[in-house]
Amino acid sequence: MHYRKLLLIISALLVSCGVFAADDEADYGHIAGKVTTTDGKPVAAVSVTLKGTRKMSVTQENGEFSLRQIKPGNYELEVSFVGYDRQVQAVTVSGNETAEVNVTLNVSSVNLKEYTVKDIRNPYKETAPSNSLRLNGLLIEQPQNIQVVTGRVLADQQIINMGDGVTRNVSGATRIEHWGDLYARINMRGSRASSFRNGMNITSTWGPLTEDMSVVDHIEFVKGPAGFLMSNGEPSGIYNIVTKKPTGITKGEVSFMTGSYDLYRGTLDLDGKLTKNGKLLYRLNVMGQLKNSFRDYEFNKRYSIAPVLTYKFSDRTSLTLEYMYQHVNMFDAGSFYVFHPDGYAKLPRNFTTAEPGIDPTIIDDHSVQLNFQHSFSRNWKLTVQGAYTDYMQEGSTMWPIAVNKDATMIRGVGIWDALNKSEFGQAFLNGEFHTGPVQHKILTGIDVGNKHYLADWGQTLPLDSNNAFFDPNNPKYGSPVMGLPKFDRSKSLKERAGQNIVDQFYTGVYVQDELGFFDNTLRLTLAGRFTYVQENSYGTKTYDNRFTPRIGLSYSIDKSFSVYALYDQSFMPQTGVLEDQTAKVKPITGNNLEAGLKKDWLEGKWNTTLSVYRIIKDNELTPGPANSNYSIQLGQTKSQGVEFDIRGEIVKGLSLVANYAYTDSKISRASETATVGGKVGDVVPGYAKHNANAWLHYKLDKGVLKGFGVSGGFSYQADRTTWSWGGAGQDPMPSYFRLDGGLFWAKDRISVNANLFNILDDYLYSGAAYADYYYWQAEPGRNFRLSVGYKF
């Protein structure tokens, strides 16, 4: 049945390609060209507009662009790019001919030695997605809500990893729980967003290891089902980490950061050519960090190295090889948790159940990625890439064996050794052609992935006893009555893991045609994907496949204002152990309806996005209230809401990122098997109903204080839900408000940035009810970071 649907979609696309084939194209001409800087470097993501028409394009990585189906005549071609003078060039179009136009952006080679293209373009706004999202066109034309957090935003906010405040920059995104920088679980639209790196779905049950921001160029948040483009995934969306690549410009930057709780961090970024002809390029990022905590005994020592090589066979063909190694030496991740029978925040913010002397958790994370790109012509491009990841962890986590009514407890330390290996392969083809007056943007490809995760959670040792409880009101550290834990690692991890193994293999094929009508002002997207998944989860083997269609519509009222609507579906197998361990965990399936408005302001300096959505999702898993090692399979949930984002340079020198989201996620159909937490109308855990954020950055560009600036922002959440089901009579989570601000100064090659976080020194936390007690994880009080950077 699914194969028939796929054939119908393909047939529809072929019909649409041929319906206008009889039209005579001799009356039309075309424009093709390339945009470069004054020293011959190609510039990507440049807007190219044919004045007097609605024809527009955006340059590719090699600087090339094309405009097709143009009536013969004399025109003016307008090329605009933030940070450069606007270029207008005359062009004559003749029937059945292609006019070649080359445009040079007037930036001196001296400036290019100091700054990359991204340094001088709009620092808070992107106009086009990365190649790893596979979309050929401007963001404003896409029938989906896509938000990009730029590298400048990350630097201004002094974000050092994915769990460090990234979500404040995207409407409705929240971080759920805190795993000591091990990994970041980010939720959007009522459920977990899948984690991607350069277009590869690296999401796992417990992972991946969160990327250090020293290797990150920017982060793309794709709202709604992204399963069609990116592989099987949650209908809530994804976030895609885009790593730094060679630019071909010889430059470098070194920075040092210090801050509260003994934070010391250094980074080095080198970029340049390895050969005089510029064919072999390199990028090298190195980071080292020492960090303690506002709680005693916690520490996090970390370093990473990420070399990248790119070989350019020609302007049309390139090969890029990336390697990244991250090493972590940290205290037990479970020490972040605090427990009490009477409610949240009943103990001081800096209280800890941690015991000094527990062996550290050691993590070694390796990843390799190979990317090949070849443009057959200006209109057809092939991308083939593969990746391999290898994650090894040896450590432990803390969780109480018992919590008594008077808050005394028996602390438990459990072994947490884990192995996570994955292989990925992708190939996709982007193309563009016309049939009569209809423009076609074709995307077709294949995804293959193989994920393997195993862990040993089988040993838990007490620190305290029934005769000597640990008393949070009078804590004593240094000599637990049961001694420090010593785990038995005499057997291999595979032998110790037993059935705690999750293997997944998937294959997906897809085809999409974006049909452009009326000079591409009206765009209709027709697409389909077929996915096959084989999974072995905790001893249970499953096989499943699904066809998922996608229909999108986008209309440009003018070149800076568009409206869109979207319907698509998602399919994602999931892992977990149900309370009834004989029951099969069903895959998540869902469908999404979304509509929105996108608007660029002041010639593209800033933009706004307003979207409304409804996601119906079947079979979602959520942690159980009595034991989070078991899951509840819900019947059907409905998430709906409104999202608003604004980002860019509002006026000269003033940049803004602000957003608001209203989210409502509830059970719409009861599960046949769930015994708790599954009634119709119950709120689904894992989001805040009201979520608002803002970040302002103002820099003086004249006078004695030139280069000096001020920044600040807030994060607000109301009607927060916990990340798991709570017990009867659970206390609600209080509203969350955090205020941050800072000062900065930059002149020539030197920059200084200082931020003060949690200025109001509020007791901020997240948590949930668990069995007959509560747990929470506190954030630090008022704290600071100071960084100094030097470009060379």
pLDDT computed for residue 625 by the predictor: 57
Fold of 243-409+419-785: Maltoporin; Chain A (2.40.170)
Which pLDDT value is given to residue 108?
Answer: 41
Q: What is the pLDDT of residue 583?
A: 62
* Structural contact between residues 233 and 308, judged by C-beta atoms closer than 8 angstroms: no
pLDDT at 439: 92
How much is the pLDDT for 184?
86
Helix (H) or strand (E) segment spanning residue 16: helix 2-18
pLDDT in tens, 386-431: 999 999 999 999 999 999 999 999 999 999 999 999 999 999 999 9
Burial of 467 (0-12, 13-18, 19+ CB in 10 A): exposed
Residue of 135, 57, 59 whose CA lies nearest to 383: 135
- pLDDT score recorded for residue 116: 45
Q: What amino acid is encoded at 478 in this protein?
A: G
d(CA 77, CA 66): 12
141, 553 Cβ separation under 8 angstroms: no
The residue that leads in pLDDT, 772 or 648, is 648
| pLDDT at residue 772 tops 90 | no
pLDDT at 59: 83
Phi/psi-derived region of residue 86, left when phi > 0, alpha when psi is between -120 and 50, beta in every other case? beta
For the cut 90, the answer to whether the pLDDT of residue 789 exceeds it is yes
Q: Does residue 592 contact residue 647 with C-beta atoms inside 8 Å? A: no
Q: What is the pTM of this model?
A: 0.89
Rounded mean pLDDT of 619-625?
A: 65
In DSSP terms, 598 is beta-bridged to: 562, 609
Q: What is the pLDDT of residues 459-478, one digit of tens each?
A: 999 999 999 999 999 999 99
The whole-number average pLDDT for the span 151-165 is: 93
Tell which residue, 655, 692, 686, has the closest CA to residue 766.
686
Q: At residue 342, does pLDDT exceed 90?
A: yes
Please report the DSSP string for 39-93 in residue order.
TS-B-SS-EEEETTSS-EEE--TTSEEEEEEE-SEEEEEEEE-TTS--EEEEEEE
Classify strands 146-149 and 216-223 as parallel, antiparallel or unpaired.
antiparallel
Helix (H) or strand (E) holding 34: strand 29-37
Phi, psi for residue 2 in degrees, rounded to 5: -65, -35
Residues whose CB is less than 8 angstroms from the CB of residue 528 and which lie 6 or more positions away in sequence, other chains included: 5, 6, 9, 10, 510, 511, 512, 547, 548, 549, 550
More confident residue, 484 or 32: 484
Q: Which residue has the higher pLDDT, 748 or 287?
A: 287
> What distance in Å separates the CA atoms of residue 113 and residue 271, rounded to the nearest whole number?
11
Comparing CA positions, the residue from 320, 287, 416, 420 lying closest to residue 366 is 420
d(CA 564, CA 611) in angstroms, rounded, equals 9
Task: Give mean pLDDT, residues 712-721.
Answer: 95
Q: Alpha-carbon distance 630 to 635, whole Å?
A: 16
pLDDT at residue 587, as a whole number: 78
pLDDT of res. 283: 98
Most confident range, picked from 93-107, 225-239, 255-269, 758-772: 255-269
pLDDT band at 678 (very low <50, low <70, confident <90, very high): low
Token pair recorded at residue 374: 């070849």
Segment 15-32 shows an average pLDDT of 56
Positive or negative torsion for Cα 192, 194, 197, 201: positive
Tokens 């050794």 — which residue? 417
- What integer is the mean pLDDT of 77-95? 81
User: How many whole angstroms separate alpha carbon 144 and alpha carbon 594?
Assistant: 8
Question: Domain extents for the chain?
Answer: 1-107, 243-409+419-785
End-to-end Cα distance, the chain: 60
Do the first three CATH levels of 1-107 and 243-409+419-785 match, i.e. the same topology? no
Mean pLDDT of 519-529: 94
CB 138 within 8 A of CB 148: no
Share of residues in the chain with pLDDT > 70 (%):
88
* Banded pLDDT at 56 (limits 50, 70, 90): confident
CA distances, 246 to each of 43, 250, 654 (Å): 13, 9, 29
The CATH T-level fold of domain 1-107 is Immunoglobulin-like (2.60.40)
Closest CA to 218 of 325, 112, 128: 128
Total H helices, total E strands in the chain: 6, 45
